[in-house]
Structures are given as C-alpha cells and as structure tokens.
Amino acid sequence: MKKILVAGALALALSGCASQQPEAPFTLTLAHINDTHSHFDPSDAPLTLDGQRVYTRLGGFPRLLNYANTLREQAKLADQPLLFVHGGDAWQGSGYFQLNRGAMNADLLSRLGLDAMVPGEHEFDLDNQRLAAFIEGVNFPVLAANLNVSRDPALSGAANLHPYVLYAFDGNDKERLESMDDAGRDPVVAIIGLLPEEMGELGTSTGGLRFEHELETAQRTVNALRAQGVKHIIALTHLGLERDQRLAARVNGIDVIVGGRSETLLGDFSDLGLGNNPPYAQLITNPDGRAKTCVVQAGHFAQAMGRVSVTFSRDGRVTRCEGGNTLLTDGEFYHDIRRGEQHRLSPAAQQRLRQLVAADKRLAVVAEDAELRRHIDEQYKPALTRAYGAVLGHVPATLSHRGLPGRDGSQSELAPLVAASQLYWVNTPEVQAVTGRRADVALVSASAVRTQLEPGELRQGKVRQELLPFATPLSLVSLTGRQLAGLLLETINGALTDDKRAQAFPYMAGLRYQFDETRKGAGFLRQIEVRQGERWVKLDPNASYSLVLNAYHASGNDGWNTLFQAQQVLTDRIDLARVNGRLMAFPVARLSQTGNNAIEAHYINQPLNCRAAGVRCNTDAEAFEDYVQQRRPLLTPLADTGITLNRL
C-alpha cells in the first residue's frame, strides 16, 4: 500500500466505519531492539560477575536472530501473539557500514524477521536515494507518521514507507492488514512510527523532507485509529527516553512506547558494571488520568534484546506490562580484553559464571545462528578484514569523546590520547631526522576526533576511516609563549560562548593549565605550565615553543585565528607527509586568505598536494597507530589531561 506521509491527511485515510473488535482480554509480547548501529558481529564487553571484572562478547546479529527465534518458538508453543520491532539507528557505527552503507543493513535486518522499524537520525546520514533503496530493500514496513515526503523525489514514491501498520492475531497466527475492513473479530494491533520533529537539523541529508510535530501527529493518529476501531496501539519511536516519557504523559491512547535514540539499557544493571538506569516497562499515566502507557527501550549495539508482555483489559487499556532487557553473551569469560588462551578463566570459574548467568534474567548464554554467521563471514567479513587491516591494540573499556568539558568535570578521553600520540610521534628519531626539531606541545581540536572507541580490538582501519578520517598532515610550527596563551584563551572562550564552536575546544599534551570562567562565555588563565623532561615549568611569554597539530588547525581554521595571524608574514612551519612511502617535510613560507575567506598555505619549495599519486597525508592517523602499538597496546585514558576548567 503506497502512502504519502502527510500527517494532516491521516484522518481521511483512516475514515470509515469502526470494526467490531472482540471484548476478551488480550496479551501481546513485544521483542525489541534499537540503535544497533551496524554491530553485526558481537561486541567485546566488560562485565562484573561474582564480584570480578571479566570480559565476554555480547550480541551481534547471529545471536539476536537465534534469541528472537527462541522467543518466537515459545510464543508459538503457547499460541501467543508476538511482534519483533526495531527502534531506529541501524546505520553507522562500524566498518561494515563504512564499506557497505545501507545495503548490508537491508540484507541482515531482513533476515531477523522484524515486523516493523522506525528510522533513526543516522538513517538520514547519506542521501535520500540511499535511504529509499534501503526502505524498498527490506522485507518489513518502515514507519514514520510525522514524516512528510511529498516534496522529496526520492522518498515520495517509497511504497514500503508508512505512517503505521496493522497486524491481526488469531493466537500466534499473524496477518498484516491493509485496513480495518479486513479485521473481522481478530484482535488488531497498530504500530505507528514517530521521529524527532527537529530531524531536519539532526540528519545531515534530509533533502525536501519535512518533519511534523511529534505530539500533535501522535494524538491525531491515535484518535483516527481509535475511531476506526483499533484498541491496541504501539508507538515505535526514535525520540529518546525523556521524550518517550513526555509522549506518554501528553498523548492519550498509546498503550506501549518502544523507543530508541538515547540507547538506554532500561533496568538496574549496576552490579554488572553497566549502571542503574530507569526501570524497564515504566507505566506513565496519560493526560486523561485514566489510561497508562508502558515505556521500554533496549540499550544499543545489538548487545541486548528487550521482551515485554502486555495485557489489555476488555476495553483495550493496559492492565499489566512486565518484562526486561536481556544481554546476550557467548558464555566465554576472560580476565583480559585480549582474550588470549592465557587470559581465559579456568574451567571451574567458567562453570561458576555460567551458573550465575543462568540464574539471572538479565543475562543469557546464546549461541549464534550458524547460517547467518556463515553468511556474514562469507559475504562481508573478507572485505572488512582487507579494509581494516592489522590489530594495533585493544580497548578494555569505552573511550568516550566530547567537545567542551562539562561542568561536572567530564572531558574527552580520546582527544588527549590523540594529542599524546602526536607529541610522541614527532619526537621519535625517524621523524626528528626529517624535521630537525623537537616539539614541546601538541594541540588537538575536539572536532578532529570523529568517534568514540568501543571495547575490543582496535584495527588500523578504525583509526584511518573513523577516528581520524580526514587524512590530515601533521604540522610543526613555533609560537611565543604569549601567542600560545592567546590561542588557548581564544579557543576556550570561543567554545564557551558559541555552541557551534564547542567542538573546537583544544585538548593537549605537554601542557597544563587552569582556566576560571568569570562570566558566561569568558574567563582567564590562572596558570599555564609546559612539561620539560620530568618537570613542569611556568610558560615564558617571551620564549619560543614548538607546537605539533594537524595542518587544518595549524592554518587557523575552526576559529583558531591566532595561528593564522602569527603566520601571515613569515613562519617556520613544516607539514609532514609521506611520498612514495618516504616521510618528507614541506616547509611553509606564509599563510594568506583568499577572496572567499579560505586560508592558503604558500610552500617554500614543492607544494604539498595530498591528492597527488604516491602522496599520503594522514600522518595524524599514523601517529596514533604508532603510539598505540609502541606505547599503549592496552589503550586506556590518560591519568591527567592537563585541563582544569572551572565552569560557572
């Protein structure tokens, strides 16, 4: 059934005589996942079990499929209705997506046996032609009630994109309906899809799409479905937990909200080392003060599956909503993320932990579906292995990234490591033989770091294609202490003043400072020190310091204007790149600004052309790779980032 998703026309599309629905109580099971982010393989994950930190592997699509099939078989034996849905953001998140875009998701999601999916913001990251191909390529309906596609040439004709879908149940038997006219006396469940109304700002490529108000669309859709005779309504959303709760509190008639986007593993997992999150299957009273809505969500990265059982009264209201999230483990436990044979727990310890898992409803040992595992390994894994190359090291726990440090003291864990890698690399004998210099300080803009790192193996391709994907040469340039202090003030104040510049906040190595915010968006540097050997020495305003940073920021882009101003007449800067495998220095004479405000580097001899054959400019990534292999094969956060930012 083809639909142009204009929310205002929905009531007309649903008009008609209300069907007669049965008066008997009805119980429905919902299995659900969300924010899988192309984690088709299992994720290495730390857990706390029996009071000890251990490493196992969680989830992955073959394990999801096996567990979903188990739930389906249980429902079939009990002759109970079951639906399996996805709360959005299947795209992005792994090397598989970088290589295959939406095509692999369409293939593997179709093999899971889903009954519906709502798009997330990352489904809009490419272009609408690719999104349309994905939607038309899956074997389940994609739902978005508040998405208006009438002005978009790619999606306006998408026959598999709907505001809602109807399923009728006769026990475990399920039939998708075109309309309530076909329902008879079987119970009918409607699933509506809802996206963030600000999706046009979240998605990088939304073309001519318009996103309608989520609350108004939800209430209008529910009213029209109720008028048609639908008693059981599920909202499949990609709004985030807080907005799911708001939706439940402000819209009448939604029975269950299955959400995504905030990636919340609902339930208390604190004793497992995964936090105490809000309760699973929370019941929230509707505005009418009578009915209640049950809210669920299932974490991220295909690590867990949620299962909720919902019982309805004769008039269609929720009387019981119970269930939980289950983490799906391979049942193998190690005391080190590297998972070598020497790291494996003893057979007795393995058996003890498996017994604990068997007794815990939040965990399940689940084997992978053999056929889906084979399909991934044969069709997709070889290209991933070729593209992502050698293992550089291992990440024991998630390394987070953010721009501006928070008022609670939280900072990027990755950006300081990137800065440390650059300072280490330029001071190695090989690089110093080319530059003839030693760097004192490394600076990294938060915007240069493009992803966080999840636990598990760190491969070369992860660094080059995802963490530091811009293939940017490193630069060495000298500033006086006074200029360096000015650069810090400029970038810190800019990040505090303008949300758009928060991602240009400077992280560093070889330098430490204390900054006190005195009013909103402004403050002063109380102390700046530079590391000299094993000592910290106060910054000398008149001394010259050698900085290493990527060439983009070395030219003063991203609001780092002090660097541009310091190099307009003369500079000692050199950019570092490899030519036919050989590391070479490209001296810069000065910088200038073109008519469209682009900054241009004028080289003394041969200009650096990163597009030329044999030229490889990604020395920023090379530095990080060497640092991990040679200094931090177990990549953990630095004990001290050097940043003390006292925010108001």
What pLDDT band is residue 604 in, cutting at 50, 70 and 90? very high
For residue 581, being part of any structural domain is answered with no
* Tens-digit pLDDT profile for residues 353-404: 999 999 999 999 999 999 999 999 999 999 999 999 999 999 999 999 999 9
Range in 132-146, 226-240, 304-318, 495-509 with the lowest mean pLDDT = 495-509
Whose tokens are 């997330």? That residue is: 120
Q: What is the pLDDT of residue 520?
A: 79
Across 491-515, b (16+ Cβ under 10 Å) vs e yields bbbbbbeeeebbbbbbbbbbbbbeb
The Cα–Cα gap between 558 and 597 comes to 12
Domain boundary among 384, 402, 428: 384
What pLDDT band is residue 202 in, cutting at 50, 70 and 90? low
Q: Is residue 334 located within the same domain as residue 411?
A: no
For residue 19, being part of any structural domain is answered with no
Q: In this model, does residue 24 exceed pLDDT 90?
A: no
* Tens-digit pLDDT profile for residues 305-339: 999 999 999 888 999 999 999 999 999 999 999 99
Q: What is the pLDDT of residue 13?
A: 41
Q: Is residue 415 located within the same domain as residue 374?
A: no
What pLDDT band is residue 205 in, cutting at 50, 70 and 90? low
Length of the chain: 648
Domain boundary among 364, 384, 404: 384
Q: What is the pLDDT of residue 527?
A: 92
Mean pLDDT within 263-283: 96
* Tens-digit pLDDT profile for residues 475-488: 999 999 999 999 99
Q: Is residue 397 located within the same domain as residue 370?
A: no
The Cα–Cα gap between 232 and 190 comes to 6
**Token pair of 2 as six digits:** 């083809």
For residue 138, being part of any structural domain is answered with yes
Q: Is residue 638 located within the same domain as residue 499?
A: yes
CB 42 within 8 A of CB 63: yes
Q: Is residue 261 located within the same domain as residue 395?
A: no
Output 408 or 308, whichever has higher pLDDT: 308
Whose tokens are 């899809």? That residue is: 193
Looking up residue 541, the CATH number of its domain turns out to be 3.90.780.10
Smallest CA-to-CA distance from 543 within 490, 599, 494, 483 is with 483
CB 444 within 8 A of CB 507: yes
* Tens-digit pLDDT profile for residues 428-458: 999 999 999 999 999 999 999 999 999 999 9
Q: What is the pLDDT of residue 648?
A: 82
Q: In this model, does residue 7 exceed pLDDT 50?
A: no
Output 283 or 519, whichever has higher pLDDT: 283
Distances (CA, A) of 266 to 89, 237, 276, 326: 18, 15, 8, 10
Q: What residue numbers bound the domain in which 537 lies?
A: 391-546+617-646
Q: How far apart are the first and last CA of the chain?
A: 55
For residue 577, being part of any structural domain is answered with no
CB 559 within 8 A of CB 491: yes
Q: Is residue 269 located within the same domain as residue 243?
A: yes
Q: Is residue 341 located within the same domain as residue 482?
A: no
Using only C-alpha atoms, what is the Rg of the chain?
28
Q: Is residue 227 located within the same domain as residue 158?
A: yes
For residue 16, being part of any structural domain is answered with no
Range in 14-18, 360-364, 532-536, 611-615 with the lowest mean pLDDT = 14-18
Residue percentage of the chain with pLDDT more than 70:
96
Looking up residue 242, the CATH number of its domain turns out to be 3.60.21.10
Q: What are the residues facing 528 on neighbouring strands?
A: 513
Domain boundary among 354, 384, 414: 384
DSSP annotation of 453 reads B
Q: In this model, does residue 17 exceed pLDDT 90?
A: no
For residue 12, being part of any structural domain is answered with no
Distances (CA, A) of 194 to 2, 105, 199, 271: 18, 20, 11, 34
Q: Is residue 190 located within the same domain as residue 221?
A: yes
Q: What is the pLDDT of residue 23?
A: 56
Number of domains observed in the structure of the chain? 2
Q: What is the pLDDT of residue 9?
A: 37
Q: In this model, does residue 271 exceed pLDDT 50?
A: yes
Q: Is residue 348 located within the same domain as residue 455?
A: no
Alpha helices in 297-453 (DSSP H): 347-358, 370-379, 381-388, 414-426, 429-435
For residue 96, being part of any structural domain is answered with yes
Whose tokens are 């598999």? That residue is: 160
Mean pLDDT within 292-311: 98
Q: Is residue 336 located within the same domain as residue 426?
A: no
Q: What is the pLDDT of residue 519?
A: 86
The Cα–Cα gap between 599 and 587 comes to 16
* Tens-digit pLDDT profile for residues 550-595: 999 999 999 999 999 999 999 999 999 999 999 999 999 999 998 7
Q: In this model, does residue 78 exceed pLDDT 90?
A: yes
* Tens-digit pLDDT profile for residues 148-190: 999 999 999 999 999 999 999 999 999 999 999 888 889 999 9
Q: Is residue 484 located within the same domain as residue 423?
A: yes
For residue 568, being part of any structural domain is answered with no
Q: In this model, does residue 298 exceed pLDDT 60?
A: yes
